[in-house]
Amino acid sequence: MLNVTIPRDVKVKLENFMDHFKGFEKVSIVKEIFGDDAEKVLSELKVEFCHFRKGFMWICDDDGHLVVSVCYLKRGNERDIYLDVIHEFVHVRQFMDGKELYDDHIDYVKRPTEIEAYEFTVREARRIGMTDAEIFEYLKTDWITADEEKKLAKTLGVRISK
């Protein structure tokens, strides 16, 4: 259904993204994120596989490469990993555009860079057939409260079941 390959068993090191994650350059939302440069950007993108038990993936704000927990790749739900990659691609583009990715002066659920990344992610989640209940579940993270999750869902137009 996703038409991509996500690595599950990788060694801790810095690699080329496209050597491990296959097919993302053909995904329509990725082309929307990066435009005509999608394949070029992904072919130049580095991915750092790290051994973190907590955390999932993020963009290094020093040089814009993707950092991924090998534990998450081994144990995570494939659909969630896929959506996280899409989310992080928006941050890669934002980094390339010179935007501040981690402005701690703005609450996470109000941060413009996060809202934009989640907007793309929610659109892709809907395209692959996820319900609002599944998307709401996907929005849960360790670093936001239940109330913040509800605010984020509302901002993104994700209906919350009562």
Whether 18 maps to a domain, the answer reads: yes
Give the mean pLDDT of 9-35. 95
Residue 161 has a pLDDT of 75
C-alpha span between 138 and 145 (Å, rounded): 14
Whether 6 maps to a domain, the answer reads: no
C-alpha span between 89 and 45 (Å, rounded): 10
Whether 162 maps to a domain, the answer reads: no
Whether 55 maps to a domain, the answer reads: yes
C-alpha span between 94 and 25 (Å, rounded): 18
> The tokens 């950092």 sit on which residue?
67
Domain that holds residue 56: 13-156
Nearest to 71 by CA among 46, 48, 52: 52
Residue 162 has a pLDDT of 60
Distance between first and last Cα of the chain: 30
Model pLDDT for residues 29-45, shown as the tens digit of each residue? 999 999 999 999 999 99
Residue 37 has a pLDDT of 95
Whether 5 maps to a domain, the answer reads: no
Give every strand in the sheet of 46-50, ordered side by side: 13-16, 46-50, 66-69, 57-59
Band of residue 2 on the pLDDT scale cut at 50, 70, 90: confident
Give the mean pLDDT of 147-154. 95
Number of domains in the chain: 1
Band of residue 142 on the pLDDT scale cut at 50, 70, 90: confident
Band of residue 11 on the pLDDT scale cut at 50, 70, 90: confident
Whether 7 maps to a domain, the answer reads: no
Whether 3 maps to a domain, the answer reads: no
C-alpha span between 129 and 119 (Å, rounded): 16
Type of residue at 140: K
Band of residue 3 on the pLDDT scale cut at 50, 70, 90: confident
Q: Which residues contact 116 (CB under 8 A, 6 or more apart)?
A: 90, 94
Band of residue 54 on the pLDDT scale cut at 50, 70, 90: low
Model pLDDT for residues 112-137, shown as the tens digit of each residue? 999 999 999 999 999 999 999 999 99
Whether 60 maps to a domain, the answer reads: yes
